[in-house]
Amino acid sequence: MTDLTKAKSEEEWRAVLSPEQFRILRQKGTERAGTGEYDKHYESGVYECAGCGTPIYKSDTKFKSGCGWPAFFDAIPGAVVRHEDHSFGMLRTEITCAACGGHLGHVFKGEGFPTPTDERHCVNSISLKFNTEN
């Protein structure tokens, strides 16, 4: 996708996203823990941004964290952008789609999961769509 994707107006995003997708992707919301369709989803394929279709995560980077949201230990190179998030009186690392700026979730480090990066990308299911690999 191009930078033009980021340039969509609020009305254009509302026209292509469901109200819940808009709340999470464009307004930085969060779905309730344990409610997303990809939390316990472990098929082989690629998770793409639900807003623009950019590939974000490969299924082989997904792991069971028990947090209630899909967890990945790494994104496809260049697919996400990290931002400091000071909301809720704490410092977190927000991740957004590099192509459209859609909110995906947050990255947490040093939690002790046995992954190659020692990171947990805690992602809203509604921010993703899944495609099987060809």
Known catalytic residues are 122
- Provide the β-strand partners of residue 85: 92
Taking residue 93's Cβ as centre, other Cβ atoms within 10 Å add up to: 15
| Phi, psi for 41 (deg, rounded to 5) | -100, 125
User: What are the E-state strand segments in the chain?
Assistant: 45-49, 55-58, 62-63, 71-72, 80-85, 92-97, 103-109, 119-123, 128-132
Distance CA 62, CA 41 (A): 9
Distance CA 61, CA 53 (A): 18
Q: What's the token pair of residue 11?
A: 């009305």
